[in-house]
Structure 1
Amino acid sequence: MIVRKLWALRGPNIWAPHPVLEAWVDLEGLKDDPSSGVPEYYARILGWLSFWDSGENSRSERESLRERLCHGTGLADVFAGLTGVLQAMADPAIGAYWTRPTAEAGVYRTAISYADEGWGRACLDASLKIVQAAVTQGSLDPAAEADRLRDLARRLRPTVAVEAILEAARARGIPTARLDKDRNEGLILLGHGARQRFYLGARTSRTGAIAEKISNDKELTKLILRACGVPVPSGRLVANLEEAWATALELGFPVVIKPGDAENGRGVALQLVTRKQVAIAFAEARNWSDKVLVEHAIPGSEYRLLVVGDCVVAAIRRDPPQVVGDGRSTIAELVARLNDDPRRGDDWKTPLFPILLDANSTTVLGEQGYVTEAVPPAGAVILIRRNTHRRDGGTATDVTDLVHPEVAARVREAVRIVGLDVAGVDVVIPDIGRPFEEQGGAIIEINAEPSLSMHLVPSSGMVRPVGKAIVDLMFPGEERGHVPIVAVTGTNGKTTTTRLIAHILRQAGRTIGMTCSDGIYLDQRRIQAGDCSGPQSARTILMNPRVEGAVLETARGGILTGGLGFDRCDVAVVTNLGQGDHLGSHDVATLDEMARVKSTVVSVVAPDGAVVLNAMDHRVVAMGTSSPARLIYFARDGDCKVLDRHGRAGGRSVCIRGGVILLAEGDRHERLIARSDVPLTLGGLITFQEENVLAAVAAAWALGLPSETIRAGLATFESKTELVPGRFNIFQAHGATLIVDYAHNASALRSLAEALDRFSEDKRLIVYSAAGNRRDEDIIDQGMALGNGFDQVLLYEDGCNYKRPDGSVLALLRQGLSVGGRVQNVFETRGELVAIERALDNLGPGLLVVFVPESIEESLKFIRSALAASTEERSRKHNTF
C-alpha cells in the first residue's frame, strides 16, 4: 500500500468547506480485501488502538474505527480513519474523512479533514506506516509512535492563545492565516487586503512602537506613571551589587529585584530581606538584562489584569507554589502528590505546571527552616518558591468579577497613559475588591505582550473570552475584514470576463487586485507573470494591503489540487460549461463531475452576495439551486425560458434585446448600453464576447455599481493586447487580417469560427496545436472543429505533448480534420514560432489568419516584432529617395 499523490486543499474544496488532505492510495497487491478478510492485520490494528488515546474525542474516533474494522471495511477507509484517530490526539474537532474509488482498480481518493497542515501530514504519514506494518507484519512500537506524535503535536500545533484568536475570528467570519507555522511565534493575518490586520503575541496592528518601547523599559514606565499620579513602587536602577544593597537599605525591606527590561517574570526575585538573597537575585537578574531594578516590595497579593481597548476583560490572582503539611508526609512527598494532578502538564494548554524541587526551592525552604525531607506540621503552609509564575508551578485564579471599579479605572488609565491597545497590568494590592486609596497597593508593571493562557486555562475560576475581546477590538462592530471578492470560473471566457470586471471596478476609483491565467495584477500593473488562476495567487493578491477589491479567475486545476484561495466571496460568476475541458484529468470524467468541481465557487458565496450564471447552459443553471445567495442570470437571448421564469419570480437578469444590453429585475427593465457601443464585441460581431460582457455586467451590478460606472467600463475596454492579451487581438498587415486568440478546446474553436463568419475575408488559415493532456476524443473533436471552420490549417508540435509520443497529437488532430467539411490543406511543422513565421511569410489580401498560441506573451512579442520588421523592409524597398 502506497500513497501515489498527496495534495493539501487549504481552502473550501470539492469535499468540504474546510481544509482537507487528499491522498490517492494504491492498495497494490491487497486491492479490495476488506479488513475482516485479513484477520492478522485486523487484530494488530485493534491491539494498537489503545495507545493512541488522548481524551474523549480520541476515544470516540478510536471506537468508531474499531467498529468498522470488526464489520469489515476497505484498507483505504482504514487508512483515512486511522489518520483521524491520530489527529484527534491533539485536535478534538478533527475526524471527518471521505473515501472514493477512482477509475483505476485498487486506487482510492481519500480526503481527511485537518486544522493544522503540518500535524495532519504527520498523522497521515504515521497512519500509512502503521497500516503497512499491520499488513506486512512489520515491526512497530505503538507506544513510541504515540509519544513521537504527541511531541510533534506540541511543536506544530498553535498555542492556546493563538487558537483563541483564530476561533474568535472564525466565529465572526473573519479570514485567518497563520504566517509563521514553522516558527510558531503566533503571527496571524486577519482579514484581506486593505482591511487586514496583524496579530502577534497580544500585539495588534494598532499597537504603537513607542508605547511598546516604553512598557518594555520598566523604570521609564514607572517614571511616566508616577508623573501622572498613578501609584507605583519606589525603586531605581542599580549598576552593581553594592549599589543594589545600598538601595535595598534605603528603600526598606522586603525588596524586589528584577531585570529592567525582561519579560514573562524571568529573573524576578521577591520578598528579599538579606544581603545574600540580594546578591543571588542581582546575579540572576543580570543574566537576563544589563539593567537591574531594585524596588520596595508592596504588601499584598499579586494580580494580573488584562486590558483590551478601554476595558478590563480578565483578572487573575497569582499565588506561588506551596504545600500544606499533613503532619505525616515530607515536603518532597507533598510536592509529588501535587504533581500527580492531571491538570499539571508541560505546556501552556494545561492550567498548571509541575512544581520543581531545585536549588531555588532549596533556598526558599531553608529560609523557612525546612528541607525537602522535612515533615511539616499539619496545617503549615510552606512556600516552595517565591515566584508566582505558572511555569514555576504557581497558580492563576480568576478574580475578574471581584475587581473593584476604581481599581479597574486606575488600571485602564495607566494603560492609556502608556498608549497600548492591549496590555497586561501587574498589580500588588491586599484586596482587589477595594480601592487603592483604602489600602495602598501599586501598579508594578505594564506588559505589551501579555500571556493570554492564564485567562484561557486558569487554575481555577471562569475561562474568559479574551480572544474574542481582542478580535472585537481589531474589527469593531460588523466589520469582518473582507474586501469585495468576485470569483470567476467556467470552461471558456474566464480570463476575459475577469479582466473586464476588474476594469469596470477600477472606474469606481478603487484599487483592484486581479488574478488570471496571465498573471497577478495590482490595478493595471502586473506583479507576477504566468498562469495565476489558482489558490496561491488568490492568497497573494488578498494579502496586499492596497487591495480594496479583488477579481479572481478560479480554474479547475487549482480547485482540485489546492481548493479555493478564499473562504467566501461576494459574487461568483460561472461563464459556461459547454462541452467541458480537461475531462479525464484528476479522475473527473464527465460533465456532471466537472460541474461539481466548478460549483465549489458557488458554494462559498456569502448569503448576502450573488451568483451570476449562464442561463443558456443547463448544468450551470443547476448550480444555483442550493445557494442561499441572490441569483442573477445572463443570456444573449432575451427570450430565454430561464430568464422568463426568473423574472416572473422577481429575479435579476442581464440580456440583449433589440441590440441593447438590458438590466432586468422582475418586470422592470433598464437600457444599459447599445451592443454597438461595446468595443470588445466589435459591434456585436464577436458573439462569444457578448456572453463575457453580460457576465461582467451582472457581476458589477451585483456589487451595487451604478449604471454610469458600468457603461464607462464597457465603453473603454477594447480587445487590445494591453487589456486582454491573446483574446481576439486583431492586427492588420499586407492586406490580411490577423487574429490572436487562445481558443484551446473544441467549443471555443466553434465559437471562434462562428464569429469569423461575420468577417469579409473569404480565405481562412489557422495556426494550431493541441495540448497532449486532453483525451484522444477531445483532440479529435478539436480537429473536427478546425476542419469545419478553416480552409487551411497549419499544425505545429511543441513542448506540450505531456509524455505522448512525437507526432501522436498531430495524428489525432488530422483524424478529426479528415471529416471536416471546409478544410482544403493541412500543413505541419515543428515549433510554435516557426509555424507563426511561416504563416506571416504568406500574408496577402483577403486572407484571415488566426494564431492560437501556447505561449501567449512570447507569441505576441514575436508577431509584433515580425510585423514591424516586415513594414520597415517594405518601406525601404519603396523609398525612392
Structure 2
Amino acid sequence: MTILETRVYRGANIWSYEQAIHLVVDLGRLEEHPTNTLPGFTEHLLEMLPGLQNHSCSRGRRGGFVERLNEGTWLGHVAEHCALALQQVVGHDIRRGKTRMVKGRKGVYNIIYGYADEQVGLAAGRLAVRLVNHLVQADPEFDWDAELESFILRAERTAFGPSTQAILDEAVSRDIPWIRLNQYSLVQLGQGVHAKRIRATMTSATSAIAVDVASDKDLTTRLLGAAGLPVPKQESVRSVEGAVAAAKRVGFPVVVKPLDGNHGRGVCLDLRDEEAVREAYDIAKEQSRRGTVIVESFVTGKDYRCLIVDGRMVAIAERVPAHVVGDGTSTVEQLVELTNADPRRGVGHEKVLTRIKVDAAAKEVLAGQGHTLESVPENGEMVKLALTGNMSTGGISIDRTFDAHPENVDIAEEAARMVGLDIAGIDFICPDITEPVRETGGAICEVNAAPGFRMHTHPTIGEPQFIAKPVVDMLFPPGAPARIPIVAVTGTNGKTTTSRMIAHIFKGMGRKVGMTSTDGVVIDERLLIRADASGPRSAKMVLQNPRVDFAVFEVARGGILREGLGYERNDVAVVLNVQPDHLGLRGIDTVEQLADVKAVLVEAVPRDGHAVLNADDPLVREMRRRCSGQVVWFSMEEPGSEVREMIEGHCRRGGKALVLNPSDRGEMIVVKHGRREMQLAWTHLLPATFSGRARMNVQNALAAAAAAFAAGAPLHDIRQGLRTFSTNYYLAPGRLNEVDVNGVNVIVDYCHNAPGMRMLGDFVDRVGESLSHDLARPSRIGVIATAGDRRDEDMRELGEIASRHFDVVIVREDQNLRGRKAGEVAGLVVEGVKAGMADGGRCKQVEEVLDEIKAVRHAMARANVGDLVVFCVDKHPAVMTELENWSQQAYAGAAANPSAPAADPDYVPAEPAST
C-alpha cells in the first residue's frame, strides 16, 4: 500500500462536517486480497492494536469492525481504523472515518479520518499504512513496539498538556471556539474582538509583574510575611559559604532550592549539616536561571497544593512523592516495575500519572533511606524515590478540597491576592490541612504561576475537581459573547463584489469588519495582505485579529478542496451561482460535483443561522436540503414565474426572501418576511448597477442585502450601504471599474470565464446601446483572457461568447500560464472567437497581443472618442496605472500640438520641410 497524496482539512469539507485528514492510497496488488484471504492477519492486527475490538464500524455495535475483518474487507478500510485506533492510544477520542474508492481508478482509495492534533493525525496515518504493509509481508526493519513508543512520544511533544486540555474541553462544552497559535500551549479562545489567550494556565489577564514576583521566591516570601501570612525563614545567597552561613542563621534542618526554579527541580529537603548544604547548593544553582539560591527553614508536614482561581479557592490536593510500598519479597526495582505497570501511568503527561523514573537522584534518595534497587523492603514499608511531590516525577495526589480548614483557605486566597495572580498554586507544608496552620506550625513555602491542573482533575485518590469551569467563567462570564458573526460567500462569479457590498454595509453601521477576498485580507478597510486570500488560512488570520467584530469571507472552490473552510461554522452562507468553471481539477469533473463543493458552506450553517440562496439557479436551489438553519431566497425572476411562486409559498410559511418587483418607475428590491413586504431600494439608483444595466450587480446587491438582513442589519442601514457602494477602483478594484480616458469609455473587470463573459456581454450590450457619437457608431473593443488551468472547451466557449458582443476582440494571456505553453491559451480563445464570427457573431476582427500591458496600449491606440473598451484584466493595478499614464501622455501631447487629433494616440506630427 502506497500513500499517493495527503491533505489536511482544517474545517468543514466535502467529506466531513469537521476537520479531517485525507489520504489517497494505492493498494496495488493488495486490491485482490481482502482481509479474509490473508492468514493470521486479523489475529496479529488485534494483538498489536487491541482497541480495534471496540470499533463499531458500519455495524453500529461494539465489535462490528472485527466482524468486517473476518468477513473480508479491503486494506484501505483497515488503514483508516488503524489511524483512528492509534490516536485513541494517545488519548484522542476520535471515531469519525470513511474509505471510498477513487472513481475510475481501481485499487486507489480515499481514506478520510478525523483528528484532534494535526501532526499526531498525520503520523497516525503514516504508521497505520506501514503497519498494514508489515502484517501482509513482514518488514525486518519494522519494530512495532519501538514504533509505537516513538509515536506516543511524538504525540506527547505536540499534544496539549492536561491543564490546557482541561480548559479547552470546558470551552468546547460551552461552544467557545479556539485556535492553536503555536506548536506548544499558546491558544486563543474566542474570535476577533472577543478573543482571550491562554498558555497552559496563564491567561491574557495574568499580570506579568505577578508572574515575575512568583518566580522570585525570596521576594514572594517577604511579601507574604509582610502581610502576616505564615512563611518559613529564608535567605538568598550566591555562594556555597553564604549558603552554609545562612543555614546556621536559619537553623537546621533547612531546604536549599533555586530562586526561580519550577517543577521541583533543584529542591533539596531536610538538610541537617553543613556538608549536605554544600552538596545541595550546586544542585540548586544549576536550576537557577539567575544563579541565586534560597536557604530556608525546613517545615515538617504533608505537602498540599491549593489552587486559587480569580481570588477563590477551587481545589486542594495532597501531593505524595513518588514511592513504592514493600511486600516483603520484591526488590525496590521490581516494585517500581510493578508500579509503572499501572495502566494509569504513562510517558510524561500522556496519562493521568507519570511513570516513576529511576535516575541518579532517585538512587540518592534511596541511599538516604538505607536502600538500593536490590533492597527488599519490609511488608507495608513506604520507600520514597523522590523528595518532592510533583506529579511530573511520578508522585500521586489525594483530593482534599472539602477537608481544608476555612482559615487555611483564607490564607491561600490572601497569598494569591498579595502576589497578584489570577490563577495561582499555593504550596502549603503542614501536619494536617484540616487544622489551622498558624496553630500547627505549617507555612506557605511557594506561590506558583501557571500551576498544573492534573493533580486536581485526575487525583489518584478522591473525587476529580472540575477546575477548568471557574477559569473559563473568569475569561468568559456567563452571557459574554465568544464568537463574532461570520458571513461566507461563494459562487462561480460575483463573490468578491458581493463580499465587498456586505462589508461596506456593516462598516457603515460602525462595525470593524474583517474581510477576505481574491484581492487580499482587509481589516477595517485597510488592506493588510495583497494576494488571493479566499482560502482557510486567510479566514483564520481575520478571526485572530483583536479588532474585528464582524467577518466576511469570500470562499473559493480551491480552498475548500485543499484545506476545508478553516473555521467551524458560518452564521450566514451566501451561494450566488454554480456555473461550469474550474472543471477537471482535483477530481471535480461535473457542475454537479462543483455544487457539492460549494454546498459545504450551507452545511456549515448552524440551526440558528441562515443560508442565502439564489432561487434562480437550480443547483443552488437544491442546497436548501443541506441547511440546518433557515433559508433566505433571492431572485431576479418576475412575479408569476415558477420560482416566484415557490418563494411566495416559502414566505407564507414565515420564511424570508428578497425579490425584484418591476413597475413603470423601475425595479424595486423588496424584502419579504412572512406576509410582510418592505421596499428597500430602486435598482437604477444603486451606483454599482450602472442605472440597472449591470444585471450581475443587481443580483449581487440582492444577495448582499439578503445576507445583511439575515445577519440582523436594519433595513435603513442596508439601504444606505447599497446607495453608497460603487464599483470605483477604491471600493471594488478590478470589478466593473469605469474610467474615461480622453473621451474613450473604458471598463476594467476581472472576468475570466465563460459564464462571467456571458454576464459581462449583456452589460456591454446594454451600455453600448446608450452610447452615441456625432461622427460614427461607437465601436466595442474587448481585451479578453482566461486562466491556463481551464479545459480547452471552456477557453473556446469564452471566445465564442465574446464574439457576440464586441466588434474587435484582442486576446492576451495571463502572466502565470498555469502549465500551458506561451500562446496556447490565446490560440484556443481565438479559435472560439473565429467560430463565433463564422456563426454570425458581432465581431469583425480578432487579434493576439499576449502581453497584458501591450494589449492595453494596442486597444487604446485603436479606440476613438465615444468607443467602449473593456479590459478583462489579470494585474488590475498595472492596467489602471497604464491607463492613467496613457491619459496624461495624450493630454501632454495635445498641449504641445493643439492641431493633433485628440482621439488618435497614434498621431505623429509631420516632419518639418527641409531647408
Which bin holds the TM-score, normalised by the shorter protein?
over 0.9
1:776 aligns to what? 792
1:726 aligns to what? 734
Question: Residue 15 of structure 1: CA displacement?
Answer: 1.1
1:107-506 correspondence runs (5 A): 107-132=108-133, 139-143=140-144, 144-181=146-183, 184=184, 186-289=185-288, 290-357=291-358, 359-506=360-507
Length-normalised TM-score, structure 2: 0.89
Distance in 2, Cα, partners of 1:148 & 1:382: 31
Question: Residue 209 of structure 1: CA displacement?
Answer: 0.8
CA contact (8 A) 1:52 1:58 kept: no
Distance in 2, Cα, partners of 1:360 & 1:751: 78
1:742 to 743, 750, 764: 750
1:692 aligns to what? 700
| Gap change, CA 1:359 and 1:684, over 3 Å in 2 | closer
2:807 aligns to what? 791
Question: Residue 205 of structure 1: CA displacement?
Answer: 0.4
Distance in 2, Cα, partners of 1:407 & 1:440: 12
Distance in 1, Cα, partners of 2:303 & 2:390: 10
1:487-636 correspondence runs (5 A): 487-577=488-578, 579-636=579-636
Question: Residue 683 of structure 1: CA displacement?
Answer: 2.0
Instruction: Describe the SS at the equivalent of 1:237.
Output: strand
CA contact (8 A) 1:202 1:451 kept: yes
Distance in 1, Cα, partners of 2:742 & 2:51: 79
| AA partner of residue 674 (structure 1) | W
CA contact (8 A) 1:58 1:92 kept: no
1:853 aligns to what? 873
CA contact (8 A) 1:31 1:105 kept: no
| Gap change, CA 1:150 and 1:879, over 3 Å in 2 | same
User: Which deviates more from structure 2 when the two are superposed, residues 723-732 or residues 649-658?
Assistant: 649-658
Deviations 1:77-110 (A, max 9, x none): 3443443343333244224322333344234333
Distance in 2, Cα, partners of 1:840 & 1:804: 28
Distance in 2, Cα, partners of 1:323 & 1:84: 35
CA contact (8 A) 1:57 1:92 kept: no
1:862 to 873, 882, 885: 882
Identical-pair percentage: 37
Question: Residue 207 of structure 1: CA displacement?
Answer: 0.5
User: Which deviates more from structure 2 when the two are superposed, residues 50-59 or residues 212-221?
Assistant: 50-59
1:809 aligns to what? 825
Question: Residue 798 of structure 1: CA displacement?
Answer: 4.3
| AA partner of residue 890 (structure 2) | S
2:45 aligns to what? 49
Instruction: Describe the SS at the equivalent of 1:688.
Output: helix
Distance in 2, Cα, partners of 1:777 & 1:646: 39
| Gap change, CA 1:604 and 1:758, over 3 Å in 2 | same
Distance in 2, Cα, partners of 1:830 & 1:376: 89
| Gap change, CA 1:369 and 1:124, over 3 Å in 2 | closer
CA contact (8 A) 2:514 2:552 kept: yes
User: Which deviates more from structure 2 when the two are superposed, residues 281-290 or residues 127-136?
Assistant: 127-136
User: Which deviates more from structure 2 when the two are superposed, residues 209-218 or residues 241-250?
Assistant: 241-250
| Gap change, CA 1:372 and 1:745, over 3 Å in 2 | closer
| AA partner of residue 825 (structure 1) | Q
Question: Residue 612 of structure 1: CA displacement?
Answer: 1.4
1:17 aligns to what? 17
User: Which deviates more from structure 2 when the two are superposed, residues 848-857 or residues 496-505?
Assistant: 848-857
| AA partner of residue 353 (structure 1) | T
Instruction: Describe the SS at the equivalent of 1:586.
Output: coil
Instruction: Describe the SS at the equivalent of 1:98.
Output: strand
Question: Residue 54 of structure 1: CA displacement?
Answer: 6.8
2:862 aligns to what? 842
Length-normalised TM-score, structure 1: 0.93
Distance in 2, Cα, partners of 1:59 & 1:383: 41
| Gap change, CA 1:423 and 1:13, over 3 Å in 2 | same
Instruction: Describe the SS at the equivalent of 1:605.
Output: coil
Question: Residue 714 of structure 1: CA displacement?
Answer: 1.8
Distance in 2, Cα, partners of 1:216 & 1:787: 76
| Gap change, CA 1:646 and 1:356, over 3 Å in 2 | closer
CA contact (8 A) 1:79 1:128 kept: yes
Instruction: Describe the SS at the equivalent of 2:608.
Output: strand
Instruction: Describe the SS at the equivalent of 1:406.
Output: helix
| AA partner of residue 796 (structure 2) | I
Distance in 2, Cα, partners of 1:830 & 1:331: 82
CA contact (8 A) 1:172 1:480 kept: no
Question: Residue 799 of structure 1: CA displacement?
Answer: 4.3
CA contact (8 A) 2:309 2:471 kept: yes
1:646 aligns to what? 650
| Gap change, CA 1:377 and 1:785, over 3 Å in 2 | closer
Question: Residue 331 of structure 1: CA displacement?
Answer: 4.4
Instruction: Describe the SS at the equivalent of 2:345.
Output: coil
Instruction: Describe the SS at the equivalent of 2:888.
Output: helix
Matched, 1:672 2:674: no
Matched, 1:764 2:780: yes
Question: Residue 669 of structure 1: CA displacement?
Answer: 2.3
Instruction: Describe the SS at the equivalent of 2:804.
Output: helix
2:910 aligns to what? none
CA contact (8 A) 1:54 1:90 kept: no
User: Which deviates more from structure 2 when the two are superposed, residues 871-880 or residues 471-480?
Assistant: 871-880
CA contact (8 A) 2:92 2:116 kept: no
CA contact (8 A) 1:491 1:581 kept: yes
CA contact (8 A) 2:599 2:626 kept: no
CA contact (8 A) 1:80 1:110 kept: yes
Deviations 1:654-709 (A, max 9, x none): 22324332222112222223323311112212111011111111222222223332
CA contact (8 A) 1:164 1:468 kept: no
Distance in 2, Cα, partners of 1:276 & 1:160: 39
CA contact (8 A) 1:612 1:631 kept: yes
| CA root-mean-square deviation | 2.7
2:904 aligns to what? none
Deviations 1:501-522 (A, max 9, x none): 1111111222211110011112
2:908 aligns to what? none
CA contact (8 A) 1:175 1:481 kept: yes
2:912 aligns to what? none
| Gap change, CA 1:135 and 1:482, over 3 Å in 2 | same
Matched, 1:709 2:717: yes
Question: Residue 293 of structure 1: CA displacement?
Answer: 1.6
Instruction: Describe the SS at the equivalent of 1:23.
Output: strand
Instruction: Describe the SS at the equivalent of 1:476.
Output: coil
Instruction: Describe the SS at the equivalent of 1:826.
Output: strand
Question: Residue 239 of structure 1: CA displacement?
Answer: 3.7
Deviations 1:756-799 (A, max 9, x none): 22222353221112223222332232233112222222222444
| AA partner of residue 711 (structure 1) | R
1:77 aligns to what? 77
CA contact (8 A) 2:826 2:850 kept: no
Question: Residue 59 of structure 1: CA displacement?
Answer: 7.4
Question: Residue 222 of structure 1: CA displacement?
Answer: 1.6
Question: Residue 36 of structure 1: CA displacement?
Answer: 5.1
Question: Residue 479 of structure 1: CA displacement?
Answer: 3.1
